[in-house]
Chain A
Amino acid sequence: MILLRIIIDALFLIGGFFALAGVVGVIRMPDSYCRMQASTNTATLGALGILAGTSLYGFFVLNSLAIGVKSIVIGLFILFSNPVASHAIARAAKRCGVYMLNKSGCDQYGRDNPQ
């Protein structure tokens, strides 16, 4: 039981750390696209770590099948629906001309599709 508790605590710590990194990135980054990259960080490991932890907690501590299975289903839905939204908002931002920090001088989308 003590080993299970350590595993669940470690999963919660991992999730919290990556969520903190993502939020700091969203606040600090200089342009919209880099903010998008940082927000993927919270949505993947920040959410999936906590959901894996609650799934283990439901299966082995509470002995409830429903809580464990529903945690896994929520994680799968986040995994499927988040990239669609991220891709759509990135393309819309580039199409309507949001400012992009171009430090490397490499903008092949803007070169191929001039406004």
Chain B
Amino acid sequence: MTGFNVELTITAAFYGLLCIALLYRVIKGPHAVDRVIAGDSIDSMTVVIMALFGALSNRAVYFDMALIVSLLGFISTVVISRYLEGRS
């Protein structure tokens, strides 16, 4: 079933382009909170690209990677928000 490769590749490239667009907010964000939000969105888009690549190369091991990033990705956000709450 090679016909699906086109859609999978195009979708992954589109998400990669959106990641680059989000970097604008990481560079320019006035406060650290804006950067945290953009970084969180980059994390979830990375998970999506990993899942697409795993489906493209037909190996279930690549999905474990996406699982780990989506599991641990929110820990750093929660830790940063605890730090911001204590700093005020």
Contact = CB atoms under 8 A, between A and B. Distances in A.
Nearest to B34: A32
A74 B63 contact: yes
Interface residues of A, number: 50
A96 B87 contact: yes
Interface in B45-68: 45, 47-48, 51-52, 54-55, 58, 60, 63-64, 66-67
A66 B63 contact: yes
Chain A interface, DSSP helix/strand/loop, else mixed? helix
A71 B38 CA distance: 24
A74 B36 contact: no
A15 B36 CA distance: 23
A103 to B, nearest CB: 18
Nearest to B14: A16
A107 B44 CA distance: 31
B61 to A, nearest CB: 9
Contacts of A20: 18
B37 A32 contact: yes
